[in-house]
Amino acid sequence: MSFDFDRLAVDDVSRHFGRRRALHRVNLTCTAGEIVGLLGPNGAGKSTLLAILSTLLAPSSGAVRYGEATAHGAGPALRARLGLLGHDLYLYPELTAAENLTFFARLYGLPRPEDAVREALVRANLADRADDFVSGFSRGMRQRLALERALLHRPRLLLLDEPFTGLDDSSGQALVARLKSLRDEGAIVVVATHDLDLADGLLDRVAVLRDGRLLTVGDSPASLRDRYRDTLLAAREADAVRFAAGKGKPS
């Protein structure tokens, strides 16, 4: 069963782990041909939100819609349209680079897995290391290989959690160019990152999470780093005002 969508909607999503609140009533909409950045301090809820968008985690309340369908309604057909690069790279160190990609190409049911693997290794700049075991790869090499693993099946929605980790300047710029090309091809790209310098100029929109809540980021010609800093500062000041009025506690 084929399935596709051109809009992702997060509607009032909350997620709790016991008494700890990871996300609180988050609303976000992304459309095809757009790169959306998820910014925020460590522990703000970025990875939790990506896990929910990837269907690896269910929200405690609220809903995520892929077009008109939910994860439960679309089932495996939806997951065939998702690509995920997380902290766990989902690579097998005891296999070679080519063997890793071949495994996933066959898992996705690609019609010509050998061709897809060959092209992916070239894009990762790892064609000359195709038969080397991943256990001997640097973090940056594994990161490049894992990105191609996530893109083998040409997903509609690509979810990236700190994709610039371990990449040198050249590889980082190559990733920026690759993500822009995916946007031009109509993908929905959601990127959680702390690398504001590389993200500046890449992102079409920015969503800032703090303590599980989505903050409003004002439009400004200022740099992404300045806009991010000002957004967090405004949130802290608002918390201080509420605390002074006896309505909460400062962060």
User: To the nearest whole percent, how much of the chain has pLDDT over 90?
Assistant: 88
The tens digit of pLDDT for each residue in 112-138 reads 999 999 999 999 999 999 999 999 999
**Per-residue pLDDT, 66:** 98
Cα–Cα–Cα angle for 140, 145, 147, rounded to 5 degrees: 95
Question: Looking at the domain covering 1-81+156-251, what would its CATH class be?
Answer: alpha beta
For residue 208, the SS3 value is strand
**Per-residue pLDDT, 248:** 60
Is 80 exceeded by the pLDDT of residue 195?
Answer: yes
**What band does 240 get if pLDDT is binned at 50, 70 and 90?**
confident
Amino acid at 176: V
Give the mean model confidence (pLDDT) for residues 53-70.
97
In the chain, domain spans: 1-81+156-251, 91-154
Greatest CA separation for the chain = 64
The tens digit of pLDDT for each residue in 81-97 reads 999 999 999 999 999 99
Is 90 exceeded by the pLDDT of residue 250?
Answer: no
Is 60 exceeded by the pLDDT of residue 1?
Answer: no
Give the mean model confidence (pLDDT) for residues 12-41.
97
Q: What's the CA gap between 196 and 231, in Å, rounded? A: 14
**Per-residue pLDDT, 149:** 97
